[in-house]
Amino acid sequence: MSSSNTTADRIRLRQSLLQLASLLLLTLLTTTLLALFSIWSLNRSFERGDQLYREDLEALDTMRSAQIEFKVQVQEWKNLLLRGKDPLQRVKYYEAFNGEELRVDTALKDLRQRTSSSLTDADRQLLLVLRQQHQALGERYRLALEQASGGQWDTFAMDQLVRGIDRPLNAGIDNLSTTLKTSSLQRFQTERAELKTRYQQLTTALWIAMLMALAVVSLLLWRVLRDRTAEA
């Protein structure tokens, strides 16, 4: 074999190896970019789901607070009826009643203004109605104190005027709380299913890209070896 043929063979081999190296580099770069995109996409989905979960959790906590505080408010009214004959006790429990009323109103107002995917427009409208009902309820309690006392502390008469008026509002708050819990759970399950699907799609795409790259590299390597065998 002449020196010119040997030189030409070396040049062709060098070119083939250079092509193989370039393809390997391109494959590595493409796979790396796809992997980075997969990580970014999954992280973005996770952060979005985490944000929604925290918003829903805060909304549920506020709703639960409204539930508890309203029940305490009703109990403070009962304490006021039972112990209000004593002027000092009357002031104590009346202030406690007012304090619980303010906490319930604040919770309902805060919940309506919260940014939460669990709260629909219908829920926000219902919160407004519940808050208005709660405010009207407080006025009825105070009116009962004025109408039934008449200079004497008549527990039975005051109780008769407002007996059972808290039940519709209590039921409304409880029903909305249940609705928010159900909506939050459904949203969490949907987000989890979407995240799982995205993970599977990205994993499949990454494996396909890797296998295709491996196939192309193997084909080029086979051609280089075939050419070398033919020349030998």
pLDDT tens for 4-20 read: 556 766 676 667 667 76
Question: Which regions in the chain score pLDDT beneath 50?
Answer: 1
- Let me know: does 158 contact 145? Beta carbons within 8 Å: yes
Q: Which of 194, 182, 197 is nearest to 119 (CA)?
A: 182
What is the tally of structural domains in the chain? 1
Q: Which of 230, 217, 180, 197 is nearest to 17 (CA)?
A: 217
For the chain, the C-alpha Rg in angstroms (whole number) is: 37
For position 1, what pLDDT does the model report? 47
Q: Residue 149 has which token pair?
A: 């006392």
Which pTM does this prediction carry? 0.72
Residue 161's domain spans which residues? 3-231
For position 114, what pLDDT does the model report? 82
For position 171, what pLDDT does the model report? 94
Per-residue pLDDT tens for 35-70?
788 788 778 877 887 788 888 888 889 999 999 999
For position 55, what pLDDT does the model report? 84
For position 92, what pLDDT does the model report? 94
Q: What is the DSSP letter of 152?
A: S
